Amino acid sequence: MKRMIIFCMLFFCSTMVLTETSRRTLKYRQIHKKIEQLEAMVKEKDAELLHTPENPVEGCLYTAVSCFKKGIQKLQPARSQDNPMFTKAIRILNTWTYRDSGACESTCESYKKKTPKEFLNSFAKLIQ
């Protein structure tokens, strides 16, 4: 009887550990959701073109994330009504950090400039 109870407890605990989503996964989901929200609110007409990293190599991910964080600061809301939600989404995206020790020779200026929606779309692809 004791063995059966211990087995059931171990089975239950292992099942809970396997189904629990990691904090990192939840953070990435939250960031991806905020990027999608920004895509709907961002000013597209007369907006500044932004350096947009696409398909960065493994050692250049930190540089790409840095470029996206700099570019996010330049985004503007399309309507003034969206300003509080827009500001909150940008604040959440700025809290995300990426640690990488890879040395990269490219800079933000080496990437092509694209529209804000293309910029956010590339950022969402990087997050995925």
Sign of the torsion angle spanned by Cα atoms 107, 108, 113, 118: positive
pLDDT band, residue 20 (cuts 50/70/90): low
- Is pTM beyond 0.85? Reply is no
What does the pLDDT read at residue 61? 83
Ramachandran assignment for 36, one of left (phi > 0), alpha (psi -120 to 50 degrees), beta (any other)? alpha
What's the average model confidence in pLDDT over 15-37?
Answer: 76
Q: What is the pLDDT of residues 53-80, one digit of tens each?
A: 888 777 778 888 888 888 888 888 888 8
Q: What is the pLDDT of residues 35-47, one digit of tens each?
A: 888 888 888 887 8
| Superfamily in which the 1-127 domain is placed by CATH | Interleukin-15/Interleukin-21 (1.20.1250.70)
